[in-house]
Amino acid sequence: MERPDYSTLASILEEMNKEGEFTASVLARDDGLLMASAASPKTNREVIAAMSGFVASTVERMRDELGLGQLRDISVRCSMGKAVFKKIASQGEQALLIAAIMPRNVRYHLRPIGKAATRIRHVLGYSD
């Protein structure tokens, strides 16, 4: 099996940021390990990755307890901006998450995140 080209992951996130007008994005494992990012040097990418894993695991437990079905995405809306977390793939026990940080006036974030998720799954060889 050929090894995926991991260098393309950051460029996929950069394109997603441009299309969605996001200020930062990361691809992380559900345990919080940073895999790729597209953000300014001042952005703490490791914190975003760690929070992705924490938020996703917390919401997954809530989803299970409340019987809400499959998780699509998680949106956190605050007075200064938004964070959207989306589980994009699972291979065995390990899931991948995209986290996108954006200004509060961004309204249409699902399409750019969905397109990036599809491209990332393809690069990594995950089945849809």
Q: What is the reported pLDDT for 73?
A: 87
Q: What is the reported pLDDT for 107?
A: 86
Residues of the chain with pLDDT under 70: 1-4, 91-93, 127-128
Q: What is the reported pLDDT for 124?
A: 87
Summarised one tens digit per residue, pLDDT across range 79-101 is: 999 999 998 877 666 789 999 99
Q: What is the reported pLDDT for 70?
A: 81
Q: What is the reported pLDDT for 127?
A: 65
Within 1-104, residue ranges assigned H as helices are 7-20, 45-66
Do residues 110 and 85 touch, judged by C-beta distance below 8 A?
Answer: no
Q: What is the reported pLDDT for 120?
A: 93
CA dist 25 → 43, 70, 106, 115 (Å): 10, 23, 14, 14
| CATH placement of domain 7-123 | 3.30.450.30
Q: What is the pTM (predicted TM-score) of this model?
A: 0.88
Mapping DSSP to helix (H, G, I), strand (E, B) and coil, where does residue 35 land? strand
Q: Which two tokens stand for residue 73?
A: 């995405």
